Amino acid sequence: MDRRTFLAGAAGAGAALSLGGAAVAQVEGLRKITGAAVPISEQERLARMAKAQRLMKARGLSALVVEAGASLTYFTGVRWWRSERVTAAIIPVEGEALIVTPHFEEPSVRETLAVPAQVRVWQEDEDPALVVADWLKARKLAAGKIGVEETVRFFVHDGLARRLPEAKFVSGADVVRGCRMIKSPAELALMQLAADVTLAAYRYTHGKVERGMTHADVGAIMNKATRALGGSPEFEMVLVGADAALPHGSEKPQVVREGEVVLMDCGCTVEGYQSDISRTFVFGEPTAAQRKVWNEVARGQQIAFETAQVGVAAGAVDDAVRRYYESLGYGPDYGLPGLSHRTGHGIGMEGHEPINFVRGEATRLAPGMCLSNEPGLYLPGRFGVRLEDCLYMTEQGPRWFSKPPTAIDQPMG
């Protein structure tokens, strides 16, 4: 997006939240529950930087390249977006980081910069890669191994490689993952608040669903409740009837009807950290088939939770759920009717982060990791059921951010 679009979106979101009591009063008594949210401190960001530098040193890296996005915010606090104009951080193995950004964006970038760092700018007719190269050369780091965060775009990587022919560019994923995958108590607290908001918004929304509502009507109620509770809606998906068998939905109009499944997948952000929760219910009285599948998914979710223990390979969680489903006649493997997607994904500042509960993932679960648990079942042409709650790993095993429901007749718990 361009600057105008970015600011318009930010202003719109801010306006919705800045109405305070007036906005809350319009949502039938809902009140903001995120007042205790504590933003990530400068001290924590500096500790993250120090950990990254320790990991870099162990891997023989002289510097790490991080583009605008979640990782830039994670380390430096800078909240920026990606465009053809490069804004990035270069984290050296020792010392303060470099922030490189267009000259005319410097004041705006500094607004969210939360750690001591050097800022270098480039003009519209200049090459930002040259700014980085000169900075690295001045520090005698230009001929070493330079890590590149895994989401850095090709043209950024390629531009740096052209300006630094003596450097060896390698993946910096291990460094970034080694930091971001393990959440701190402060991060867990923000994710808990985000989950609390989403679950409360679900309970409110469920009581407002009426026959004849479109999926967009239901989603609008959810988003309004989320804002009133103090969260920033990140996404909302509402699937009705046969469209609930499509994990990521359909664009065609959908209307709530008696006896049909309603599958909702929604999340919000609190101080930069996300929630992701799915609930499935029936408008009216569930059929025997709907009850059966709902109960099977609820059991699949519990099997995933029970399997997710410290030291277990993440892929084993997916394996356990898939074995159970196949014993019921679903699949096999990713076949339909059955579970056509992975059992879960990492979550934190982004809705999808490494690692995943998916076949073959050998990374072992460790305290501080956060993942979704969503082993849905999908019956093409009929309906689908997905129950999704996120968990975090502790020394004693997994803990829920949101407690799953146990019965289709009480789908919000």
Label the pairing between strands 273-274 and 232-240: unpaired
Q: Which residue has the higher pLDDT, 252 or 290?
A: 290
What is the per-residue pLDDT for 26? Answer: 60
Distance CA 62, CA 275 (A): 35
Cα torsion at 74, 79, 83, 88 (round to 10°)? -50
The total of other beta-carbon atoms located within 10 Å of residue 12's CB is 10
For domain 42-180, which architecture applies? 3-Layer(aba) Sandwich (3.40)
With bands split at pLDDT 50, 70 and 90, how would you rate the model's confidence at 253? Answer: confident
Contacts of 360 (CB under 8 A, 6+ apart): 315
318 in Cβ contact with 310 (< 8 Å)? no
What is the per-residue pLDDT for 29? Answer: 84
The residue behind tokens 């009705």 is 240
Provide mean pLDDT across the span 43-57: 98
Provide the CA 149 distance to its chain's centre, in angstroms. 17
Residue 6 has pLDDT above 90, yes or no: no
Note the pLDDT tens digit of each residue in 344-355.
999 999 999 999
386: tokens are: 């997905």
Query: Dihedral sign, CA of 130, 136, 138, 144?
Result: negative
Provide mean pLDDT across the span 367-386: 98
Note the pLDDT tens digit of each residue in 70-123.
999 999 999 999 999 999 999 999 999 999 999 999 999 999 999 999 999 999
The residue behind tokens 């609008």 is 220
Contacts of 183 (CB under 8 A, 6+ apart): 191, 348, 368, 369, 370, 392
Note the pLDDT tens digit of each residue in 266-310.
999 999 999 999 999 999 999 999 999 999 999 999 999 999 999
Label the pairing between strands 117-122 and 353-357: unpaired
Question: What phi and psi, each to the nearest 5 degrees, are found at residue 236?
Answer: -150, 135
392 in Cβ contact with 183 (< 8 Å)? yes
Let me know how long the chain is: 413
Note the pLDDT tens digit of each residue in 122-137.
999 999 999 999 999 9
Residue 8 has pLDDT above 50, yes or no: no
Ramachandran area for residue 358 (φ above 0: left; ψ -120 to 50: alpha; else beta):
beta
With bands split at pLDDT 50, 70 and 90, how would you rate the model's confidence at 243? Answer: very high
Note the pLDDT tens digit of each residue in 144-190.
999 999 999 999 999 999 999 999 999 999 999 999 999 999 999 99
Residue 53 has pLDDT above 80, yes or no: yes
For the full predicted model, state whether its pTM sits above 0.85: yes
Domain ranges of the chain: 42-180, 185-400
349 in Cβ contact with 180 (< 8 Å)? yes
Of the candidates 382, 176, 353, the residue with the CA atom closest to the CA atom of residue 289: 382
What is the per-residue pLDDT for 28? Answer: 79
Distances 250 to 137, 165, 239, 253 between C-alpha atoms, Å: 52, 48, 8, 8
Provide mean pLDDT across the span 43-68: 98
What is the per-residue pLDDT for 17? Answer: 34
Note the pLDDT tens digit of each residue in 177-230.
999 999 999 999 999 999 999 999 999 999 999 999 999 999 999 999 999 999
What is the per-residue pLDDT for 252? Answer: 86
Omega of the bond leading into 337 within 30 degrees of 0 (cis): yes
What is the per-residue pLDDT for 9? Answer: 35
85 in Cβ contact with 105 (< 8 Å)? yes
According to CATH, the topology of domain 185-400 is Creatine Amidinohydrolase (3.90.230)
Q: Terminus-to-terminus CA distance in the chain, angstroms?
A: 39
Distances 378 to 248, 294, 372, 383 between C-alpha atoms, Å: 11, 11, 18, 6
The one-character DSSP state at 151 is T
Residue 57 has pLDDT above 60, yes or no: yes
Compute the mean pLDDT over every residue in the chain, rounded to the nearest whole number: 94
